[in-house]
């Protein structure tokens, strides 16, 4: 979509500085300026802590009053400064002028009211329509966001809907009064890729019909390249660069933008399978059933069925799937954090499923958790966390300390951090510490359960490189669980694609990701945002077999 | 632990580590004391508690005479130089009995907290960590909670006879289920925390797991619960003594004094007033401190109230 220069500017952010209250040493956001025109989508991109969400909250007038304030600049909505208006006027503006869609649709909706009533409430508060008129409008709007069976969904409660449907409801609520500006703060981050694609399409479609200006806050360059007309790159509260989509993606001017864009892994598989190495892990016919199967009724859920795959020494095997595919269940079964219902998990030639003493096997397999903020005990120092496993296996404290220090250096952290506590580190640093804690045990197999999903792209790129280095240096095998095809393409030798507890396809990463045979794999690859863009080289991905340019 | 890794400059410059000093000075105890002394009601409560504790410890040096010394010739006297707060129906010095009474009350409060918290931690960890224990022990605890605390205490004292120890145990037992439930819920909550799973992956055994990774999470809520138990134990002891089911009647406890004074309420209401005021002051101050602690340690709860 192109925007001609004659389009009216809907939102104009002029030199906005946001300070903490009382003012701290450094403002949170410094001197940000950008415009959004009618019918245009501007993506505000940045890593966590870049100030992108705070900026969008300021536009909505939603900054927490006792903590943050706009200390300089103007925010003009159709020429009216939202920082100066009265509370009553702001309420009116929020209804008709600017609407917002949040990241987590479950928390944005009231759990004890039907979704129909919640959309209706917007109309009841802001229009003089009769109940019958409102109901008609609500149903119409629900149809426009492509919800099926709208009269039934009108009466549904939020928990009865899927994540994608909930986000559609939130979008319907936001757009029913036809606002001039839609602020979307990471609206698709909590959704699966296939759902994400649908929601992005929906926003685009409604925007074209209504000429709404859209500010889309996101950290995901895949999403950006799909929908943005213009891009605003932010870093640590400052505006780094603005430009059209093509300018930023093909020829970024600033170093930071270059680094940010090139950190996005591309979908082109890079590694081939390892050959001629012994099997480290073999999973045979694994079944995990939650709940009990009665004589007549069956309330059990099969989280994994007939899962079989192998991991060779020095190999990185990816398990790919959306939420609910059973990929984490498999990982937990391999670790015996969850007990499998049937099947065998053979580690170094030994089936660990019937084992009673897990201590002996635990040393051979180590686990890296998704959330680095919760996987380290906040009350224990880094050194204590790192040495815990070694000491459990009878290594004396001095030796454990020495090894912990060495391993910290392996993950590019100085050994001197051992006396500090986890809260003193950033997410990426903590994840490296968590990796060090696993690697220090010298395991044969590492299980990385969404280990880079919670990290910013630049940090994610570093951690992926680190895992790759550790594999090269120690010859450890890695079972890499992820929902992100890009990450899998980047690091995995072989991949296993799971859907609803079953393996639908497995093989060399190059084969599965480039020439998917199963429909589900194909759907996943199609849904991945911007499959045709090679971010690392700032150009369209050329010559990807089996992939048509969008 | 030896620290051969003193705060030297990190080798890698990419690390953007915050100052250590900043993180160090926010240690638990100092922060807590600062929090307690941050508002006037809290300061006054803290001062009252300190005064009462000092009174209990220094009782023999505060111009008191033997609190159980009978003197039938001096029954029901008013205030005088010899008896600052007068005497009771047996001619015992009321002032001395009030001062020594603090000892009984504080001992009962502290003893109850120790017994209830220790037993509560034991059962809480047992039921929170092992599912099989949960079903059996918690149903027993539910049964215990269904019986009114005072009634249970009276029954226990009736069975085992009235001494300070039996009264202490009788007051503690009804408090155990509450502590056990709280510890259990904390343990169950952290059991699925990734850092606990991480420790189990590292081969950490059950006992070490509980001690290192789980129990530290119960310290804050236990501290708050402890103050409430302390206050309520003082109340219960007074009630038991007042009903004649508490510590032996000659013991100078505030409850006993009120029980003795009850008969002379119309003649000499001070006999009830002095110990009554002491009980109220102590319980109120301790409760107030508990509230401050709770607000500080659990800010979410504070906002809701």
pLDDT score of B2: 40
Distance between CA A305 and CA A322 in Å, rounded? 16
Q: What tens digit of pLDDT does each residue of B222-281 get? A: 988 999 999 999 999 999 988 888 888 888 899 999 998 888 888 888 889 999 999 999
Q: In which element (H, E) is residue A447 found?
A: strand A445-449
Any residues with CB less than 8 A from the CB of B157 and at least 6 apart, and which?
Answer: B166, B167, B170, B240, B245, B246
Question: Would you place residue B23 in the very low, low, confident or very high pLDDT band (cuts 50, 70, 90)?
Answer: very low
Distance from the Cα of A509 to chain B's closest Cα (Å) equals 29
Q: Compute the nearest-CA separation of A414 from chain B (Å).
A: 6
pLDDT tens, residue order, chain A (550 aa): 444 556 789 999 999 999 887 777 788 899 999 999 999 999 999 888 888 888 988 888 888 887 888 888 999 988 889 888 888 888 888 877 888 888 877 788 999 999 999 999 999 988 889 999 999 999 999 998 889 889 999 999 998 888 888 989 999 999 898 899 999 988 888 788 888 888 898 889 888 888 899 999 988 888 888 889 999 999 988 999 999 988 998 889 999 999 888 888 878 888 888 888 899 999 999 999 887 766 666 677 888 999 999 999 999 999 998 888 889 899 999 988 888 999 999 999 889 988 887 887 888 999 999 888 889 998 899 999 999 999 999 999 999 999 999 999 988 889 888 999 998 888 889 999 999 999 999 999 999 998 888 888 888 888 999 999 999 989 999 999 998 888 999 899 999 999 989 999 999 998 998 889 999 999 888 888 777 778 888 888 764 444 433 3
pLDDT for the residue numbered A507: 92
Per-residue pLDDT at A154: 94
Which of A235-249, A460-474, B78-92, B187-201 is predicted with the least confidence, judged by mean pLDDT?
Answer: B78-92
Chain B's closest residue to A462, CA to CA, is: B14
What's the CA gap between A16 and A29, in Å, rounded?
7
Q: Please state the φ and ψ torsions of residue A130, each to the nearest 5 degrees.
A: -75, 165
What integer pLDDT is reported at residue A273 of this predicted model? 84
> Which H or E element spans position A428?
helix A427-439
Contact B197 A420 (CB under 8 A): no
Measured at the alpha carbon of residue A26, what is the angle toward residues A24 and A28, in degrees to the nearest 5?
A: 95
Contacts of B5 in chain A (CB under 8 A): 383, 405, 415-416, 418-419
Q: Which residue of A has its CA nearest to B195?
A: A375
Domain definitions of chain B by residue range: 38-65+83-304
Q: What residues in B contact A397, CB-CB < 8 Å? A: 1
Burial of B262 (0-12, 13-18, 19+ CB in 10 A): exposed
Q: How far is A261 from chain B (nearest CA, A)?
A: 20
| Cβ-based interface (< 8 Å): residues of A facing B | 335, 337, 358-359, 362-363, 365-367, 369-371, 374-380, 383, 388-389, 392-393, 397, 405, 412-421, 423-426, 429, 434, 437, 441
Chain A hits for B198, CB-CB cut-off 8 Å, are 367, 369, 375-376, 434, 437
CA distance A376 to A367: 13
User: Exposed, middle or buried, A536 (CB in 10 Å: 0-12/13-18/19+)?
Assistant: middle
Grouping H, G, I as helix, E, B as strand and the rest as coil, residue A449 is strand
Q: What is the 3-state secondary structure (H, E, C) of A66-128?
A: CCEEEEEEEEEECCEECCCCCHHHHHHHHHHHEEEECCCHHHHCCCCCCHHHHHHHHHHHHCC
- CA B57 to mean position of chain CA atoms: 17
Cβ within 8 Å, pair A412-B14: yes
Question: Which residues in chain B (204-223) have CB-CB distances under 8 A to chain A?
Answer: 204-205, 208, 212-213, 216
Cβ neighbors of A384 (< 8 A, separation 6 or more) are none
Could you say which DSSP state residue A177 is in?
A: T
| ipTM over the 0.95 cut-off | no
B200 touches chain A (CB under 8 A): yes
Q: Which residue of chain A comes nearest to B204, CA vs CA?
A: A392
Mean of the per-residue pLDDT values of chain B = 83
Given an 8 Å threshold on Cβ–Cβ distance, is B195 in contact with A423?
no
pLDDT at residue B303, as a whole number: 46
Cβ–Cβ gap A374/B11 under 8 Å: no
Q: What residues have CB less than 8 Å from A129, skipping those under 6 apart?
A: A123, A137
Minimum-distance CB partner of B198 among A367, A421, A425:
A367
For residues A7 and A78, the answer to whether their CB atoms sit within 8 Å is no
Q: Is the per-residue pLDDT at B24 higher than 60? A: no
Residue in B closest to A437 by C-alpha: B202
CB contact under 8 A, B193 and A374: yes
Q: What's this model's pTM, rounded to 2 decimal places?
A: 0.80
A448 vs A438: CA distance, rounded Å: 10
A533 DSSP 8-state letter: E
| Angstrom distance (rounded) from CA A264 to CA A243 | 19
Question: Does residue B4 carry a pLDDT above 50?
Answer: no
CATH superfamily of A9-107+181-262: P-loop containing nucleotide triphosphate hydrolases (3.40.50.300)
Among A370, A388, A441, the residue with its CB nearest the CB of B199 is: A388
Burial of A131 (0-12, 13-18, 19+ CB in 10 A): exposed
A137: left (phi over 0), alpha (psi -120 to 50) or beta: alpha
3-state SS assignment for residue A479:
strand
Nearest CA in chain A to B193: A374
Q: Cβ–Cβ of A367/B197 closer than 8 Å? A: yes
Bridge partners of residue A231, in order along the sequence: A43, A243
A chain contacts of residue B194, beta-carbon cutoff 8 Å: 369-371, 374-375
Q: Tell me how many residue pairs between chain A and chain B have CB atoms under 8 A apart.
A: 91
| d(C-alpha A368, C-alpha A437), whole Å | 9
**How far does chain B reach from its first CA to its final CA, in angstroms?**
43
Q: Which residue in A has a C-alpha nearest to residue B1's C-alpha?
A: A397
Which secondary-structure segment (H or E) carries A344?
strand A342-347
- B208 CB neighbours in chain A (<8 A) are 392
Phi/psi of residue A263, nearest 5 degrees: -80, -15
Q: Nearest Cβ partner of A416 from B10, B199, B208? A: B10
Q: What is the pLDDT of residue A548?
A: 38
pLDDT at position B109, please? 93
CB distance B18–A415 less than 8 Å? no
pLDDT (0 to 100) of residue A426: 86
Please give the backbone phi and psi of residue A302, each rounded to the nearest 5 degrees, phi first.
Answer: -90, 105
Asked whether the beta carbons of residue B194 and residue A416 sit closer than 8 angstroms, the reply is: no
Q: What is the pLDDT of residue A293?
A: 66
- The length of chain B is 305
What is the predicted pLDDT for the residue at B14? 41
pLDDT of the residue at A546: 40
- Which conformational region is residue A346 in: left (phi greater than 0), alpha (psi within -120 to 50 degrees), or beta? beta
CA angle A498, A503, A507 (to 5 degrees): 95
At B207, is the secondary structure helix, strand, or coil? helix
B6 contacts A359? CB cut-off 8 A? no
CB A329 within 8 A of CB A340: no
Cβ atoms of residues A142 and A172 within 8 Å: yes
A540 strand-pairing partners: A533
Of A389, A405, A423, the CB nearest to B203: A389
Q: What residues of chain A lie within 8 A of the CB of B11, using their CB?
A: 414
Look-up of token digits 């099989």: B132
Rounded to the nearest 10 degrees, the angle between the axes of helix B270-297 and helix B40-57 is 130
The alpha carbon of B88 is separated from its chain's Cα centroid by a whole number of angstroms, namely: 30
Burial of A419 from C-beta contacts in 10 A (0-12 / 13-18 / 19+): middle
pLDDT of residue B124: 94
Fold for the domain defined by B38-65+83-304: MetI-like fold (1.10.3720)
Contacts of residue B293, defined as CB under 8 A and 6 or more positions apart, other chains included, come to B32, B35, B36, B223, B224, B227
Judged against a pLDDT cut of 50, whether residue B209 lies above it is answered with yes
B21 touches chain A (CB under 8 A): no
CATH number of A279-364+443-540: 3.40.50.300
**Residue A505, min C-alpha distance to chain B (Å):** 30
Selecting from A392, A420, A423 the residue whose C-beta is nearest the C-beta of B20 gives: A420
């Amino acid at each position: 979509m192109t925007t001609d220069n004659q389009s009216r500017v809907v939102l104009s952010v002029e030199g906005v500085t946001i300070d903490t209250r009382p003012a701290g040493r450094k403002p949170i956001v410094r001197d940000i300026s950008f415009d959004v025109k009618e019918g245009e989508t501007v993506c505000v991109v940045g890593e966590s802590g870049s100030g992108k969400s705070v900026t969008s909250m300021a536009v909505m007038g939603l900054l927490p009053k006792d903590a943050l304030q706009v200390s300089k600049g103007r925010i003009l909505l159709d020429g009216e400064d939202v920082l100066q208006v009265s509370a009553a006027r702001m309420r009116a503006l929020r209804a008709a002028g600017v609407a917002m869609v949040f990241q987590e649709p479950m928390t944005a909706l009231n759990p004890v009211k039907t979704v129909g009533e919640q959309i209706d409430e917007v109309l009841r508060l802001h229009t003089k329509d009769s109940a019958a008129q409102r109901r008609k409008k609500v149903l119409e709007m629900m149809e426009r966001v492509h919800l099926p069976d709208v009269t039934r969904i009108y009466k549904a409660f939020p928990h009865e809907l899927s994540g994608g449907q909930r986000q559609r409801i939130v979008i319907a609520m936001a757009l029913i009064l036809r606002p001039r500006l839609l602020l979307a703060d990471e609206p698709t981050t909590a959704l699966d890729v296939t759902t994400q694609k649908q929601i992005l399409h929906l926003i685009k479609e409604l925007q074209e019909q209504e000429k709404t200006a859209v500010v889309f806050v996101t950290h995901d360059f895949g999403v950006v390249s799909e929908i943005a007309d213009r891009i605003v790159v932010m870093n640590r509260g400052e505006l780094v660069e603005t430009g059209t989509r093509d300018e930023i993606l093909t020829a970024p001017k600033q170093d930071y933008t270059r680094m940010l864009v090139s950190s996005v892994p591309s979908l082109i598989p890079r590694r081939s399978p390892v050959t001629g190495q012994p099997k480290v892990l073999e999973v045979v016919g694994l079944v995990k059933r939650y709940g009990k199967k009665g004589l007549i009724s069956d309330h059990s859920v099969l989280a994994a069925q007939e899962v079989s795959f192998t991991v060779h020494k020095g190999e990185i095997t990816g398990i790919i799937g959306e939420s609910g595919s059973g990929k984490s269940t498999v990982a937990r079964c391999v670790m015996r954090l969850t007990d499998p219902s049937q099947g065998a998990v053979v580690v170094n030639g030994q089936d660990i499923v019937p084992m009673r003493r897990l201590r002996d096997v635990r040393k051979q397999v180590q686990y890296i958790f998704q959330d680095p903020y919760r996987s380290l005990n906040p009350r224990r120092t880094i050194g204590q966390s790192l040495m815990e496993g070694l000491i459990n296996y009878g290594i004396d404290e001095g030796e454990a300390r020495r090894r912990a220090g060495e391993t910290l250096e392996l993950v590019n952290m100085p050994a001197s951090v051992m006396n500090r506590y986890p809260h003193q580190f950033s997410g990426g640093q903590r994840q490296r510490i968590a990796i060090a804690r696993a690697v220090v045990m010298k395991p044969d197999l590492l299980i990385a359960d969404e280990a880079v999903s919670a990290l910013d792209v630049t940090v994610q790129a570093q951690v992926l490189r680190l895992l790759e280095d550790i594999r090269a240096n120690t010859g450890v095998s890695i079972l890499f669980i992820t929902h992100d095809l890009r990450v899998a393409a980047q690091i995995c030798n072989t991949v296993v694609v799971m859907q609803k507890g079953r393996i639908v396809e497995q093989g060399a990463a190059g084969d599965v990701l480039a020439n998917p045979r199963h429909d589900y794999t194909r759907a996943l690859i199609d849904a991945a945002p911007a499959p045709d863009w090679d971010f690392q080289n700032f150009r369209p991905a050329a010559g990807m077999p089996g992939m048509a340019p969008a | 632990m030896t620290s051969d890794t003193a705060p030297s400059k990190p080798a890698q410059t990419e690390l953007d580590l915050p100052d250590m000093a900043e993180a160090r000075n926010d240690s638990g105890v100092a922060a807590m004391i600062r929090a307690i002394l941050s508002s006037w009601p809290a300061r006054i409560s803290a001062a009252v508690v300190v005064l009462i504790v000092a009174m209990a410890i220094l009782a023999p040096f505060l111009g008191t005479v033997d609190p159980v010394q009978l003197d039938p010739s001096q029954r029901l006297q008013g205030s005088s130089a010899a008896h600052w707060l007068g005497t009771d129906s047996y001619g015992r010095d009321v002032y001395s009995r009030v001062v020594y009474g603090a000892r009984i009350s504080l001992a009962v409060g502290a003893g109850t907290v120790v017994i209830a918290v220790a037993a509560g931690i034991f059962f809480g960890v047992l039921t929170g960590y092992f599912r099989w224990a949960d079903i059996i022990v918690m149903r027993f605890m539910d049964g215990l909670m269904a019986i009114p605390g005072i009634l249970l205490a009276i029954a226990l004292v009736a069975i085992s006879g009235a001494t300070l120890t039996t009264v202490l145990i009788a007051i503690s037992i009804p408090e155990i289920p509450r502590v056990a439930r709280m510890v259990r819920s904390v343990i169950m909550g952290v059991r699925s925390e990734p850092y606990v799973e991480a420790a189990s992956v590292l081969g950490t055994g059950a006992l070490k797991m509980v001690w290192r990774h789980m129990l530290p999470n119960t310290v804050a809520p236990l501290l708050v619960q402890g103050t409430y138990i302390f206050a309520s134990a003082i109340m219960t002891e007074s009630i038991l003594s007042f009903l004649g089911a508490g510590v032996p009647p000659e013991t100078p406890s505030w409850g006993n004094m009120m029980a003795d004074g009850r008969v002379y309420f119309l003649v000499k209401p001070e006999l009830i007033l002095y110990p009554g005021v002491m009980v109220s002051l102590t319980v109120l101050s301790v409760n107030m401190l508990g509230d401050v602690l709770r607000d500080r340690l659990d800010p979410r709860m504070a906002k809701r109230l």
